[in-house]
Amino acid sequence: MTLYGLHISVGAGHAKAVEYAKELGCTAVQFFCGNPRSLRTTPFDAEKWAAFADLREEAGIARAVIHTSYLINLASDDADAVARSVERIRYDLAVADAGRIAFVNTHLGSYGTRDRNAGFASVVAALERALDGIAPEVTLVLENSAGAGNLCGGTIEELGALLRAVDHPQLAICIDTAHAWAAGYNIDHAAGVDALFGLIAEEIGLDRLRMLHVNDTQIPLGGRRDRHWHLGEGLIGISGLHALMHRPELADTTAIIETPGDPNDDARNMATMHRILEDHSA
């Protein structure tokens, strides 16, 4: 069964976050455990994160995800920036262990003007450091990029190459539908989704696809811009999202909605996801 839900805020407290997610019918949630615009870390209270896990389980929220800071850049030629990025990922992994959180999802950053081969090697070395001593119940998940600005991870082939180079069982992949579309993967129909999954199977392995960020978008196909939109109201549309969410390979996948807006938008997007999953027509 696909577990699905929203990216939520925990800023007002864990209890309110769980109450909100439960009201909307989430069986999974994603959140930041610190400032998403900073790499700074501060000591955390392991008991509070464990109590958060208890609240989630009582509410029927079976899976949780930490999204790392937007400033993570493992591909940078600035060694200090890479070191601070690794430190922040390791911090999030430690919080995940304390809070019984299955996944830590991260972007990879941009190569900037550096040679891509050198940048790729930097990412591999940084991931190896980040994964050193990782708790056995936590998985680090790499998110595909929209491909703009020389970003790392914009193709399925590059993500697969990273998995093979790092070769760690607790490293996996998250496919963001809006990013995939922006990078040129045409997934607004079943045949396009078939092609994407064929490529994932060949380059990554379907067992390493652990998460989806399910977002529509108004960016033209191949537009290489990261802009999310409400489910079924963009260019991917209901037909593409339906074809994606009914892939048999996604039986135990975690699907997180990351669309903009207010609580009314959240409720609408959750209702759309529920209708998509309940509709078993071809």
Within 10 angstroms of residue 161's Cβ, the number of other Cβ atoms is: 15
Each residue of 159-203: pLDDT tens digit?
999 999 999 999 999 999 999 999 999 999 999 999 999 999 999
H/E segment holding residue 14: helix 14-23
pLDDT at 1 over 80: no
What global pTM score does this model have?
Answer: 0.96
DSSP secondary structure code for residue 151 in this structure: B
Contact (CB, 8 A) for 216 and 236 = yes
In this predicted structure, what is the pLDDT of residue 148? 84
Each residue of 57-84: pLDDT tens digit?
999 999 999 999 999 999 999 999 999 9
pLDDT at 252 over 90: no
In this predicted structure, what is the pLDDT of residue 281? 80
Each residue of 122-172: pLDDT tens digit?
999 999 999 999 999 999 999 999 988 799 999 999 999 999 999 999 999
In this predicted structure, what is the pLDDT of residue 60? 98
Q: Residue 228 is part of which domain span?
A: 3-278
In this predicted structure, what is the pLDDT of residue 282? 63
The stretch 278-282 carries a mean pLDDT of 82
Closest to 140 measured CA to CA, from 98, 198, 90, 75: 90
The CATH code of the domain that includes 189 is 3.20.20.150
In the predicted model, what is the mean pLDDT of the chain? 96
In this predicted structure, what is the pLDDT of residue 161? 98
Structural domains counted in the chain: 1
Closest to 2 measured CA to CA, from 282, 280, 274, 279: 274
